Copies of this chain bind each other. A is one copy, B any other.
Amino acid sequence: GRASAAARRCVGLIEGLMAEGRATATLSSLLTSGRSATKTAVAPLTRRTTPCGATRPRGTSSRPRFAPTRPVLGHRHLSTTTTSSSASASSMSETHKTSTHFCDACGSETSVLVPEGDNRPRRVCQNCGKVHYVNPKVVVGCLVEHTCEETGARQVLLCRRAIDPCRGLWTLPAGFQECGESTSEGAARETREEANAEVSIAAPYAHLDIPAISQTYVIFRGTFKHASASRSGSSLHSPGQETLETKLFDLEKVPHEEIAFSSVRVVLGKYAEDVRRGRYSFHHGVIEKEAGVAASSPRFKLAQYTGLPTEHKL
């Protein structure tokens, strides 16, 4: 029922994180324990106030295990009763998706509790009381538009990935937003890093949520900064460290069978529609996918879609 759905989602979240390149050895172990949770429902998650043997790295001193039987620092301890409610069940997986078994401020062990004044379980330090919030991440990227000098065809810049996940598949230059930068600065930075291309950001183009992996994509349109100085588009870009190949594709020649990531599929599809219609929209929607579906799989659904047709012509 709900509990095993939550456990399945937990696995999906972790796989999503791994798929997005943030995998660590620890996450890998967590994945294993998450999988066993799909069989035994909620209890294993609730018990995991200390990391299981599999997640304890070599060289870590063994600490006395501490299982609080009453609220710590006024926090409400998560019982199986609260776990069985819908809200708790759905957010259990979130609390466990990262391996915050120890407090990053003081190094003590954490427990899963509902902090006072909060309404969902969090990892809370047993020693200093610090609440370890986990929030969605923003992926920023750029749809670089170009007009072929020879044919006049509308082209877009794609990067063939040199790293997993989706090694060998084509994607828009994109990556995690860093602290201290705006989304558009992040989009330009990722384009510089992955395609050695300097771009001017034109406008926001798409905003896509992927709740299953707690990510939000913010994609901008942009153009090469120095396009006019060059006769050939190919001198405007080259593979960065994480890229095997960069290429400007005519819109009708985009390799739809070899695209990495559902978000990129959606953006390229909407962009082709916009170009056909001769008018940009701003695209917003939710990408729904099931746990375990590969990042490159076309098995997803675009839900709650809103296209805001803008007054900007192409």
Report which A residues bind B (CB closer than 8 A).
9, 13, 22, 24-26, 51, 55-60, 63, 90-91, 93-94, 97-110, 117, 119-120, 127-138, 176-185, 193, 203-204, 207, 209, 211-212, 214, 216, 218, 241, 282, 284, 286, 304, 306, 308-312
Whether the pair B105, A103 counts as a contact (CB closer than 8 A) is: no
- Taking CB atoms, residues of chain B closer than 8 Å to A282 are 204, 282, 308, 310
Whether the pair B179, A94 counts as a contact (CB closer than 8 A) is: yes
Tell me the bound Cα distance from A90 to B131 in angstroms: 27
Tell me the bound Cα distance from A55 to B117 in angstroms: 25
Tell me the bound Cα distance from A231 to B210 in angstroms: 38
Tell me the bound Cα distance from A55 to B107 in angstroms: 12
Partner of A182, one of B56, B60, B209: B209
Whether the pair A93, B180 counts as a contact (CB closer than 8 A) is: yes
Tell me the bound Cα distance from A241 to B119 in angstroms: 11
Whether the pair B216, A183 counts as a contact (CB closer than 8 A) is: yes
Partner of A211, one of B9, B182, B310: B182
**Copies per assembly:** 2
Whether the pair B107, A60 counts as a contact (CB closer than 8 A) is: yes
What's the least CB distance linking A26 to chain B, in Å?
4
- Taking CB atoms, residues of chain B closer than 8 Å to A184 are 209, 286, 304
A25 (CB) vs chain B CBs: closest residue: B128
Tell me the bound Cα distance from A129 to B101 in angstroms: 15
- Taking CB atoms, residues of chain B closer than 8 Å to A103 are 102, 104, 107
- Taking CB atoms, residues of chain B closer than 8 Å to A22 are 133
- Taking CB atoms, residues of chain B closer than 8 Å to A102 are 102-107
Tell me the bound Cα distance from A203 to B38 in angstroms: 36
Whether the pair B25, A60 counts as a contact (CB closer than 8 A) is: no
Give me 10 A-to-B residue pairs in the complex whose CB atoms sit less than 8 angstroms apart, sorted by A's number: A24-B129, A24-B130, A25-B128, A26-B106, A94-B179, A101-B107, A135-B137, A136-B178, A180-B211, A184-B209
What's the least CB distance linking A179 to chain B, in Å?
4
Whether the pair B108, A99 counts as a contact (CB closer than 8 A) is: no
A132 (CB) vs chain B CBs: closest residue: B104
Given contacts A135-B178, A310-B310, 12 further A-B contacts (CB under 8 A): A22-B133, A26-B130, A51-B106, A90-B180, A102-B105, A104-B104, A119-B193, A133-B176, A134-B179, A135-B176, A183-B209, A204-B284
Whether the pair B177, A284 counts as a contact (CB closer than 8 A) is: no
In the complex where A117-B241, A134-B179, A211-B180 touch, is A105 in contact with B310 (Cβ < 8 A)? no
